[in-house]
Structure 1
Amino acid sequence: MEIALPRRKTRRIYVGTVPIGDGAPVSVQSMCNTDTRDTAATLEQIGRLADAGCEIIRVAVPDTQAVEALPDIVEGSPIPVIADIHFNHRLAIGALKAGVQGLRLNPGNIGGAQHVREVLAVARERQVPIRIGVNAGSLEKGLLEKYGGVTAEAMVESALGHIRLLEDENYPWMKISLKASAVPLMLDAYRSLAEKIDYPMHIGVTEAGTVRSGIIKSAAGIGALLAQGIGDTLRVSLTGDPLPEIRTGWEILKSLGLRKRGPELISCPTCGRCQVNLTAVAEAVETALEKESRPIKVAVMGCVVNGPGEAREADVGIAGGNDCGLIFRKGEIVRKVARSEMVDALLEEIGKLPAE
């Protein structure tokens, strides 16, 4: 029996065709680490990320050459493109005219209210969403002095100040992020702001680290917020190739029952009762299922103690025995196979599952 997690009630915006907020599925984002001015390399990376399940992509726009590359990137991208802008409002205007479907900027660092108004005048034509991105590492000096350093209160006040800039111009199409590399700080800031606004939230742990450590920090931070209903779109921030960001984001959502995409593999940690090389079996099955798109649940268990029970919740599973394996479907034994045939037999049974 699946338990539905609560979802915080927020406004609805659209990044291109992707709905965010007001009960829409939590979307998975990433950011290219290519040079945006290299259109071919950027589109190649976007294609790989989209194939892996990325639903929105962000690209850095540091100069006018990057702006000039945006029309081709937007046209060639299979998913909506967000331009990441800092300091120069003219780059934001150029990105909007190039057709980007979203902006990530800090209204406080692009030159004052007049520059904000100029950006909004262009964004308003298509109601392009703007993400107000507050980062613990770049808070305003006045707030740092007021609160004696980086605190959740300082981050929330920064966000509210930026939100007011857009609200004063009657611009409601925004989403908010309050990212920090410290998970407790990030959690405190998001929870506090969630009580004060109803705009959708983009969540993540910034500068989370390498794949090994960053996945753990991201799962802890993002998962804790989602479990409390906070979060409408997410990015897992990892050092290196952004592809693992997508896989991790989807695994977090699947583990909480918020989205379904591809297989869910259940495998036991093994104990002294295990009489088969379950690690090899589980890894072989996981590798074989990398391109599987059906939202199926597969169990690979080391013995019959937990095997039948776990397999009852799985579409198909296998439990190891003495020189053999028992194939299950929805908890019912299908057949007994030799140890050497366990992987092939399980994959064969998976192949028999319905297309949907």
Structure 2
Amino acid sequence: MLYTRDKTRRIKLGEVELGKGAPVAVQSMTCTDTRDVKATLNQIKELNQAGCEIVRLAVPDQEAALAFRPITDQSPLPVVADIHFDARLAVAAVENGAKGLRINPGNIGSTKAVDRVVDAAKAHHTPIRVGANSGSLPKELLKKHGGPTTEAIVEAALSHVRLLEERGFYDIKVSLKSSSVLNTIAACRALAEISDCPQHIGVTEAGGITSGTVKSAMGIGALLMEGIGDTFRVSLTADPVREVEVAWHILRAAGLRKRGVEIVSCPTCGRTEIDLMGLLAKVKKELAVITAPLTVAVMGCVVNGPGEASHADVGLAGGRGQGIIFAKGKVIKKVPESDLVEAFMDQVLKAQDEYLNNRKTRNQNEA
């Protein structure tokens, strides 16, 4: 079944719009001590440069909640407060500039505590993300459904949503997560059939770079291709900047959004007469400054490279002691191996300038 994002309700988190057909937004979370304002802002700025659009911060205590004021005043991204159990921290974070809350209303405290959070969120126009994690479901639901099933996850989340909607609060997004790819997909599909709340999707506790990337690509990618998901986080046991990099690769592969360079590179084989892996590593480092959505190719065979990567905006192919630079399958020039990366980057920068000039012209014509 194919779902459509334009059927979810629209909410606004800072300047980022979510739901009702808005572009799928990339989110991550800092791993700094929120109370360390300088370190947290430095990491937020790194995430922003990588393409992150929403950032979440842990709020373990009142000091962290109060740190939101200097952080949100200087942050280039909307900041979400991650709250567990304590309504006072949620209220303090909102009053100090948090653009969003991540809570579970069912465990935030008494009825009065939920009232306080909702009143603060209404007063400051702060959306609330509620959710359910298969690893922390209420005991009564686990008993009712025989474990952390799809039905148990969905019921847990919707019970939290009802607590907010009964108080006239509807700026809600929902997340249903599991460390299991299949359980995550099933739960998000089930919610999409019965709710118009925007969904924040992701496979939780996905693991390190390799396993986490694979599980996230499978789970998040499958949901995005079905039209489910308005914002997402790639959960990795790694530098959060890597989460953002993987997220944009997923968006590009799903045909939804593009940012920066997509690298096409061939596997090594017996015809390779150049250090292709070393060459690729150098190229990736140089390409970090490119923001235009270009496709570039790093090929190990001069004979077949340009043809196999004829769709690339710019490419290089290495041979014994030399290589070629090509664009759209046409050879531009032959250069010594020692000059290959520099000549390649010169052509990439030209391609980026051309892209930016064309975009500027299109925008002027549409104005």
TM-score under structure 2 normalisation?
0.90
**Could you tell me whether the CA contact under 8 Å between 1:275 and 1:322 is conserved in 2?**
yes
The 3-state SS of whatever aligns with 2:194 is: coil
Give yes or no for the alignment of 1:341 onto 2:339: yes
Deviation at 1:322, TM superposition (A): 5.7
Q: Deviations over 1:190-210 (max 9, x none)?
A: 111111111111111111112
Give the drift of 1:140: 0.8
C-alpha distance after superposition, 1:140-193 (max 9, x if no partner): 111000111111110011111111122212211011101111111111111111
Question: More displaced, 311-320 or 188-197?
Answer: 311-320
Which of 127, 130, 133 lines up with 2:131 in the alignment?
133
Percent identical residues: 54
Of residues 296, 306, 309 in structure 2, which corresponds to 1:308? 306
Task: Please identify, of 212-221 and 74-83, the stretch whose mean Cα deviation from structure 2 is larger.
Answer: 212-221
Q: Distance in 2 between matches of 1:122 and 1:133?
A: 19
Distance 1:117 1:305, change over 3 A: farther
Cα distance in 2, alignment partners of residues 50 and 293 from structure 1: 13
Paired AA for residue 34 in structure 1: T
Q: Any gaps of 5 or more consecutive residues in structure 1?
A: none
- Alignment counterpart, residue 51 of structure 2, candidates 42, 53, 56: 53
Q: Shift of the alpha carbon at 1:354?
A: 4.0
Query: For residues 254 and 321 of structure 2, what CA distance do their matches in structure 1 show?
Result: 35
Which residue of the partner structure matches residue 181 of structure 1?
A: 179
Q: Which has the higher helix share?
A: 2
Corresponding residue number in structure 2 for 1:64: 62
Partner amino acid, structure 1, of 2:42: E
Output the amino acid matched with 2:229: G
Alignment partner for residue 261 of structure 2, among 260, 263, 267?
263
Q: Verify: 1:8 aligned to 2:8, yes or no.
A: no
* SS of match in other structure, 1:279: helix
Among 225, 232, 235, the alignment partner of 2:233 is 235
Report the CA distance shift for 1:169/1:51 in structure 2 as closer, same or farther (over 3 A): same
Q: Does 1:330 align with 2:328?
A: yes
Deviation at 1:93, TM superposition (A): 1.3
CA RMSD of aligned residues (A): 1.9
CA contact (8 A) 2:302 2:323 kept: no
| Residue equivalent to 1:289 | 287
Equivalent-residue separation in structure 1 for 2:4 and 2:261 (angstroms): 24
Measured against aligned partners, the alpha-carbon deviations of 1:200-257 in whole angstroms (never above 9, x if no partner) come to: 1111111111223222222221111112111111111122432211111112112222
Q: How does 1:1-356 map to 2 (within 5 A)?
A: 7-9=4-6, 10-303=8-301, 307-321=305-319, 324-355=322-353, 356=356
TM-superposed CA distance for 1:348, in Å, is 2.2
Aligned counterparts of 1:326 and 1:279: Cα–Cα separation in 2: 17
Give the CA deviation at 1:275.
3.0
Q: Distance in 1 between matches of 2:275 and 2:3?
A: 40
**Matched residues in 1 for 2:74 and 2:125: separation?**
22
Q: Which has the higher contact order (CA 8 A, sep 6+)?
A: 1
Whether the 8 Å contact between 1:57 and 1:79 is mirrored in structure 2 is yes
Whether the 8 Å contact between 2:131 and 2:160 is mirrored in structure 1 is no
Unaligned runs of 5+ in 2: 357-367
Per the normalisation by structure 1, the TM-score is 0.93
Please tell me whether the aligned partners of residues 265 and 299 of structure 2 are also in contact (alpha carbons under 8 angstroms).
yes
The size of the alignment, in residue pairs, is 352
8 Å Cα contact 2:94/2:124 also seen in 1: no
CA contact (8 A) 1:311 1:328 kept: no
Pick which of 31-40 and 154-163 moved more: 31-40
